[in-house]
């Protein structure tokens, strides 16, 4: 019988193994960065970290499928357990020594997004969640923010740095949120942004162009911490390449409406 807590445990071990490797590795010189697409870099550190993660996950659960950003982004999401992996979310931050980057591991179990682990590499802090098991960091249970007034809200976001055709739309949204909320923050690692929503540090978060590996783990964290996560269209299926809106139930509704009308 497949126990969900066993999947959470192995994901946490795999993320810790990769995080330890990343902390011990030397960031490559700029000449060694590979630009996968506009403003989107990858290095051997990303690739090696993904190999360590895949090895750990499949050794414990043979036959499970790993869909990883760097080595297997096009892998078929078939099988009882499908891992959705970002070995280094926030690569640009890492390359510049800006301490906001993470290992992100989510899992789809029997067709349902059910496991999420995010390891904050620079701070060596792990966040974990399983469907029906709650969201945790160490022994502390996570809960989304109790703030319900937009004027008191701190909202996280991410810039559409790869999809420049949506910049104008994003700027209209940014202006609307700026007028309505108490503040906006952009740190450059969506997995950690979602962990911050789950932990109640952000009241809400949105971004227009994210990949499945950017959000899979963080979505489980937020939902298990009592929050709501959808696309901008309101769909709960967030594992496409597109938008995400997250927050506590009240501010998720507020932000979704504001963004749609901006």
Find the mean pLDDT for residues 232-239.
96
Domain termination site, one of 80, 108, 141: 141
Q: Are residues 170 and 253 in the same domain?
A: yes
Find the mean pLDDT for residues 150-175.
93
Q: Are residues 133 and 161 in the same domain?
A: no
Q: Are residues 158 and 119 in the same domain?
A: no
Whether 38 has a pLDDT exceeding 60, the answer reads no
**Residue 148 banded pLDDT, cuts 50, 70, 90:** very high
Q: Are residues 249 and 218 in the same domain?
A: yes
pLDDT of residue 40: 59
Q: Three-state SS string across the chain, please?
A: CCCHHHHHHHHHHHHHHHHHHHHHCCCCCHHHCEEEECCEEECHHHHHHHHHHHHHHHHHCCCCEEEECCCCCCCCCCCCEEEEEEEEECHHHHHCCCCCCEEEEEEEECCEEEEEEEEECCCCEEEEEECCCEEEECCEECCCCCCCCHHHCEEEECCCCCCHHHHHHHHHHHHHHHHHCCEEECCCCHHHHHHHHHCCCCCEEEEEEECHHHHHHHHHHHHHCCCEEECCCCCCCCCCCEEEEEECHHHHHHHHHHHHCC
Find the mean pLDDT for residues 58-69.
95
Top mean-pLDDT range of 1-5, 19-23, 44-48, 160-164: 19-23
pLDDT of residue 83: 98
Query: With pLDDT > 70 as the criterion, what percentage of the chain qualifies?
Result: 97
Q: Are residues 137 and 161 in the same domain?
A: no
Query: With pLDDT > 90 as the criterion, what percentage of the chain qualifies?
Result: 85
Domain termination site, one of 116, 141, 166: 141
Total number of domains constituting the chain: 2
Whether 189 has a pLDDT exceeding 80, the answer reads yes
| pLDDT one-digit tens code per residue, 195-214 | 999 999 999 999 999 999 99
| pLDDT one-digit tens code per residue, 71-110 | 888 888 989 999 999 999 999 999 999 999 999 999 999 9
Find the mean pLDDT for residues 37-47.
74
pLDDT of residue 223: 98
Find the mean pLDDT for residues 228-233.
98
Q: Are residues 12 and 137 in the same domain?
A: yes
Give residue 21's domain range. 4-141
Q: Are residues 251 and 199 in the same domain?
A: yes
Q: Are residues 166 and 227 in the same domain?
A: yes
Q: Are residues 33 and 135 in the same domain?
A: yes
Q: Are residues 15 and 132 in the same domain?
A: yes
Q: Are residues 48 and 119 in the same domain?
A: yes
Q: Are residues 135 and 188 in the same domain?
A: no
Mean pLDDT rounded to a whole number for the chain: 94
CATH code: domain of residue 87: 3.30.540.10
CATH code: domain of residue 170: 3.40.190.80
Find the mean pLDDT for residues 111-127.
98
pTM confidence score: 0.95
pLDDT of residue 58: 97
């Amino acid at each position: 019988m497949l126990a969900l807590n066993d999947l959470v445990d192995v994901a946490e071990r795999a993320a810790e193994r990769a995080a330890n490797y990343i902390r011990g590795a030397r960031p490559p010189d700029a000449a060694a960065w590979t630009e996968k697409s506009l403003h989107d870099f990858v290095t051997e550190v990303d690739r090696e970290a993904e190999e360590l993660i895949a090895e750990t996950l499949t050794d414990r659960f043979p036959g499970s499928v790993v869909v990883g950003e760097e080595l297997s982004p096009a892998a078929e999401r078939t099988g009882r357990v499908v891992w959705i992996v970002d070995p280094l979310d926030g690569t640009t931050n890492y390359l510049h020594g800006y301490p906001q980057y993470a290992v992100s591991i989510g899992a789809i179990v029997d067709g349902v997004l059910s496991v999420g682990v995010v390891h904050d590499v620079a701070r060596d802090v792990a966040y974990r969640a399983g469907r029906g098991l709650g969201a945790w960091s160490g022994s502390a249970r996570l809960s989304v923010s109790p703030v319900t007034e937009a004027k008191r809200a701190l909202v996280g976001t991410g810039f559409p740095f790869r999809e420049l055709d949506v910049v104008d739309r994003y700027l209209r949204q940014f202006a609307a949120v700026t007028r309505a909320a108490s503040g906006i923050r952009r740190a450059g690692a969506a997995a950690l942004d979602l962990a911050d929503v789950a932990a109640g540090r952000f009241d809400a978060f949105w971004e227009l162009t994210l990949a499945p590996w950017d959000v899979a783990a963080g979505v489980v964290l937020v939902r298990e911490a009592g929050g709501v996560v959808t696309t901008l269209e309101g769909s709960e299926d967030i594992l496409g390449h597109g938008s995400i809106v997250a927050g506590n139930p009240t501010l998720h509704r507020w932000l979704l409406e504001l963004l749609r009308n901006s």
